[in-house]
Structure 1
């Protein structure tokens, strides 16, 4: 069974040797250009999507609206995505040993932000990759810059909860 990544984890792409991506720095944060009126009464948060090239050739990367989906709360409701304040990656060449980062601003009811799921589908050299999911939440730290997890017990607990939930859902679907 496929298990989602935990916010802060790197995901390698087998079809693009050396290319990897992660969702990280999930923080409660106001957007730089002011709040959108549609987010009235909601709590803003930001997250980063970093693509790194550890391979030997360049990759043309594209991430924009429609390629990222953010769901919040235990029922996976859609978060409000503030496209005006977000920064995307549009047709950028990532050369070997380089990174590129997109910053996304979203909002939702504060009570729902302890569960945040982010789904990403990259376009690499005009090819679509498989969708990947990261699970996390505000108040749950990620591992910073990709070293050894400093929050192992929290991360394992969240990954275990997500895995158990997905396993239960799959079993309910087959019975």
Structure 2
């Protein structure tokens, strides 16, 4: 069974040697240019998507609206995406040993933010890469191994953290 990445994990693309991506810095944050009227009564948060090139040639990267999907809560409802405040990667050449980061601002009911799933699909050199998903929640720190603060005890992020901890313990036994 496919297991999602935990927020903060790097994921490499086999079809593009040296290219890797991660979703990180999932945190409560107000947008820089003010709240959208459509998000009235919702709690804002931000998430970063970083693409890194550890290979020997450059890649043209696209990560725009429609290539990022954010779902919140136990039912996986769509979060409100504030496109006006978000920053995307539009046709940027990522050279070796360089990075490019997109910053996405979204909002949802505060009670649903303990479980956040972010799915992205990069376009690399005009070809679509495989979809990747990361799970986390507001209060889950990058690289956290234990139960996330404020997360639903049996939520997906907690299950992913427990799975990864169990795998690490099996590897050292």
TM-score (norm. length: structure 1): 0.85
Tell me, in whole angstroms, the C-alpha distance in 1 between the residues paired with 2:58 and 2:136. 30
Contact 1:117/1:133 (8 A) holds in 2 = yes
- 3-state DSSP of counterpart to 1:25: strand
Runs of 4+ in 1 over 4 A off after TM superposition: 160-163
Tell me, in whole angstroms, the C-alpha distance in 2 between the residues paired with 1:38 and 1:161. 36
Q: How many residues align?
A: 156
- 3-state DSSP of counterpart to 1:153: coil
Paired residue for 1:132? Answer: 132
Q: CA RMSD in A?
A: 1.6
Paired residue for 1:4? Answer: 4
Contact 1:6/1:158 (8 A) holds in 2 = no
Paired residue for 1:171? Answer: none
Deviation at 1:154, TM superposition (A): 3.2
Q: What does the per-residue CA deviation read over 1:152-171, in whole Å, with 9 as the maximum and x for residues that have no partner?
A: 223784415689xxxxxxxx
Tell me, in whole angstroms, the C-alpha distance in 1 between the residues paired with 2:53 and 2:147. 29
Paired residue for 1:115? Answer: 115
Contact 2:147/2:161 (8 A) holds in 1 = no
Tell me, in whole angstroms, the C-alpha distance in 1 between the residues paired with 2:162 and 2:74. 11
Paired residue for 2:171? Answer: none
Tell me, in whole angstroms, the C-alpha distance in 1 between the residues paired with 2:135 and 2:46. 14
Q: Does 1:154 align with 2:144?
A: no
- 3-state DSSP of counterpart to 1:154: coil
Unaligned runs of 5+ in 1: 144-150, 164-175
Contact 2:6/2:161 (8 A) holds in 1 = no
TM-score (norm. length: structure 2): 0.86
